[in-house]
Amino acid sequence: MELIAIVPMDAQRWESWRERHCETGAYRPGLFGLILKDPRRFNTPIQAPGALRLFIPSPEFQDQLRQAISIE
């Protein structure tokens, strides 16, 4: 997966892109959309700690992600 762009969301873009994002709630100001190239969903969710903003996962969690990708 590759991060292509980060775009500010407005109410119109939120609604027109609704089928593309996973958020089911209503639009609220201050949201951004991440444009991804070749995204992949895991068949089984992976439990992980949440974090605000973009972050680099711990080495242990990176290993879990790699294993999950190789299984999928």
- Residue 27 to residue 32: CA distance in whole angstroms: 11
- Per-residue pLDDT of 25-67, as tens digits, reads 899 999 999 999 988 877 778 887 776 777 888 898 888 888 8
Residue 42 Ramachandran class (φ > 0 left, ψ -120 to 50 alpha, else beta) = beta
Whose structure tokens read 């711990």? 58
Whose structure tokens read 């790699």? 66
Contact of 49 with 30, CB cutoff 8 Å: no
Contact of 35 with 5, CB cutoff 8 Å: yes
This prediction has a pTM of 0.62
